[in-house]
């Protein structure tokens, strides 16, 4: 028996159905800007321990919801759990972000790459999804997520974060068949991983294509979008008569909105560089839009935050199909009180647009 949802605004907006207010959640809503998150992480010993302990992952997933009336919860995990489960050896070095012990550079290693079993090496993620669903008791829907095949490949080949991913791009131009092989394994891995999250209880899923936007126009289609399309077409889209909406977020993908909307997703995420009103004119008949408040604007005064929220709501205009979010993840230096201002402003200022 599934508990009925008390607040389904987020799912309704993704399906472009009428809502009373515009729903809002924030990318990285559970994170270091919250002192309670930092305390739990300290208790866990490290970020990865936190991800791998379903009870602690549940605790931090719920923390932002205790503070703010957000309309969705997002699974606390990371996109790099998938390459970790493929044997690359994920670790986080202080101040340097994620790293892999065994980056994928050699043809022989690339050819050995295999799809991990989501209920095997990644069972801790599915256990977290199940535990979070129980803890939520239907308050709001739970979002599952994965990195896009291309964004995962960037970290796998490069061995960590980087400015421009030159090793990955060199492979793209000089050995495209090797990169295609990685992408095709990643697409299968991501599809299986998201379908397992959906089976475990995720009520919507988001694909994070953080680095697709650094590709040339032609390379985006060939190396990122094509594999996003493969994933979207392989996803479970209905559970117990409920549609499971799929959100695709390519950071820097504003010029390709029509192409992204055409792969069969329910919603397209926008970073802050795109005008959401123009985006709606371009693709709003086909998909919902999610975004697109500049996360840096949360450093400004409460008045400036309210004004910017009002501007974005006004740019989208009246009617359905908008999920309010940031244009990228929230900064660790954000004042939580400013987040409260943003969430309150979205809910109060948006009511006029849903009359």
Least separation in angstroms between residue 210's CB and ligand CP3 is 3
Ramachandran bin of 277, using left for φ above 0, alpha for ψ from -120 to 50, beta for the remaining angles: alpha
Q: What are phi and psi of 311, to 5 degrees?
A: -65, -45
CB atoms within 10 A of CB 26: 25
Reduce the DSSP state of residue 273 to 3 states and report it: coil
Is 124 in the active site? no
Is 102 in the active site? no
Asked if residue 210 binds ligand CP3 (CB under 6 A), the reply is yes
Asked if residue 98 binds ligand CP3 (CB under 6 A), the reply is yes
Is 280 in the active site? no
Of 142, 118, 116, nearest to 129 by C-alpha is 142
How far is CA 39 from each of CA 31, 132, 340, rounded to the nearest angstrom? 11, 19, 20
Catalytic residue among 8, 78, 259, 266: 78
Q: Output 84 or 266, the one with its CB closest to ligand CP3.
A: 84
Asked if residue 72 binds ligand CP3 (CB under 6 A), the reply is no
Catalytic residue among 33, 155, 220, 227: 155
| Interface with ligand CP3 (CB under 6 A), residue from 45, 89, 97, 164 | 97
Catalytic residue among 9, 12, 28, 133: 28
Asked if residue 197 binds ligand CP3 (CB under 6 A), the reply is no
Task: Give me the 109-148 binding string for ligand CP3, x by CB under 6 A, dash otherwise.
Answer: ------------------------------------x---
Cβ atoms of residues 54 and 61 within 8 Å: no
Spatial neighbors of 307 by CB under 8 A, at least 6 apart, are: none
CB atoms within 10 A of CB 337: 9
Quick one: how far is CA 221 from the chain centroid?
20
Whole-angstrom distance, CA of residue 126 vs CA of residue 128: 5
Q: Output 10 or 76, the one with its CB closest to ligand CP3.
A: 76
Q: Which window, 78-86, 105-113, 163-171, 316-324, contacts ligand CP3 (CB under 6 A)?
A: 78-86
- Residue number of the CB closest to ligand CP3 reads 210
Least separation in angstroms between residue 68's CB and ligand CP3 is 13
Task: Give me the 19-58 binding string for ligand CP3, x by CB under 6 A, dash otherwise.
Answer: --------xxxxxx--------x-----x-----------
Reduce the DSSP state of residue 243 to 3 states and report it: strand
Q: Output 45 or 138, the one with its CB closest to ligand CP3.
A: 45
Helix axes 176-200 and 123-136, enclosed angle (nearest 10): 40
Least separation in angstroms between residue 236's CB and ligand CP3 is 20
Residue whose tokens read 């940031």 = 326
Least separation in angstroms between residue 76's CB and ligand CP3 is 5
Is 155 in the active site? yes
Can you state the percent helix, strand and coil of the chain, rounding each to 5?
50, 15, 35
Task: Give me the 305-334 binding string for ligand CP3, x by CB under 6 A, dash otherwise.
Answer: ------------------------x-----
Instruction: Report the alpha-carbon angle 137-23-191, nearest 5.
Output: 70
Asked if residue 74 binds ligand CP3 (CB under 6 A), the reply is yes
Prior bond of 126 cis (ω within 30°): no
Q: Catalytic residue numbers?
A: 28, 32, 41, 78, 155
Binding residues vs ligand CP3 (CB under 6 A): 27-32, 41, 47, 74, 76-80, 97-98, 145, 161, 208, 210, 329
């Amino acid at each position: 028996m599934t508990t009925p949802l008390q607040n389904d605004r987020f799912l309704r907006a993704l399906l472009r159905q009428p809502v009373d207010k515009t729903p809002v959640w924030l990318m990285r809503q559970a994170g270091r800007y919250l002192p309670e998150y930092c305390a739990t992480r300290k208790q866990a010993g490290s970020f990865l321990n936190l991800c791998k302990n379903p009870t602690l992952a549940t605790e931090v997933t719920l923390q932002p919801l205790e503070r703010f009336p957000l309309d969705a919860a997002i699974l606390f995990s990371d996109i790099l759990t998938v390459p970790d489960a493929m044997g690359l050896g994920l670790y986080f070095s202080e101040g340097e972000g994620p790293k892999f012990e065994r980056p994928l550079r050699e043809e022989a290693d690339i050819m050995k790459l295999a799809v991990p079993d989501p209920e095997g090496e990644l069972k801790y993620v599915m256990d977290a999804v199940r535990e979070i669903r129980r803890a939520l008791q239907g308050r709001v829907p739970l979002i599952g997520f994965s990195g896009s095949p291309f964004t995962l490949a960037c970290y796998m080949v490069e061995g960590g974060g980087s400015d421009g991913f030159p090793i990955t791009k060199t492979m793209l131009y000089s050995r495209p068949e090797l990169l295609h092989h990685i992408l095709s394994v990643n697409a299968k891995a991501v599809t299986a991983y998201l379908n397992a999250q959906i089976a475990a209880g995720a009520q919507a899923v988001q694909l994070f294509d953080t680095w697709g936007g650094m590709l040339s126009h032609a390379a985006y289609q060939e190396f990122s979008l094509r594999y996003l399309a493969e994933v979207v077409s392989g996803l479970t889209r209905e559970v117990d008569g409920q549609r499971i909406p799929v959100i695709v977020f390519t950071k820097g993908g504003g010029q390709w909105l029509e192409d992204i909307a055409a792969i069969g997703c329910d919603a397209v995420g926008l970073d802050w560089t795109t005008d959401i009103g123009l985006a709606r004119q371009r693709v709003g008949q086909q998909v919902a839009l999610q975004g697109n408040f500049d996360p840096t604007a949360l450093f400004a005064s409460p008045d400036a935050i309210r004004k910017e929220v009002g501007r974005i709501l006004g740019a989208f205009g009246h009617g359905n199909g908008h999920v309010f979010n940031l244009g990228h993840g929230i900064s660790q230096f954000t004042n939580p009180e400013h987040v409260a201002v943003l969430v309150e402003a979205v809910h109060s200022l948006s009511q006029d647009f849903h009359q």
